[in-house]
Amino acid sequence: MFARIAVVAAALAAAPSAFAADSTVADLSRDTGVSERHIRMVVGARTPYPEYRVVFNRVERQLKSALGQDGFERLLDGDIAAAAEIRRARLAEEAAVAAKAGPPAAAPQRQDG
């Protein structure tokens, strides 16, 4: 009995969580500013989404801009985790460039008199 429980526990630990993909889609949604629903629309079947004809091109452009061509292709291949990782790398790169540029110049203050 204990051996069966150990085997089942090991199998469950090795199997990816059913919620892992959802949390990655949620992370990708937060990082890109595209809703989870629209990410699923671009990646999967378009038929269940009545807004497909109206928003698909805009969402596709937004994802390509946020992920880059490589990240977008990975997303279309179903590798959402890799696309999210590419986005995090792009964010880190943008932050490094911004830090290297220095703090933004302060706007001159207006004096009303």
- Which pLDDT tens digit goes with each residue over 66-95? 999 999 999 999 888 888 888 888 888 888
Contact 84, 28 (CB under 8 A): yes
Question: What sign does the CA torsion over 54, 59, 62, 65 have?
Answer: negative
Contact 59, 34 (CB under 8 A): yes
Q: What is the pLDDT of residues 37-68, one digit of tens each?
A: 999 999 988 888 899 899 999 999 999 999 99
- C-alpha 75/C-alpha 31 separation (Å) is 14
CA nearest to 28, candidates 98, 81, 94, 97: 81
Residue 56 has a CB neighbour count (10 Å cut-off) of 15
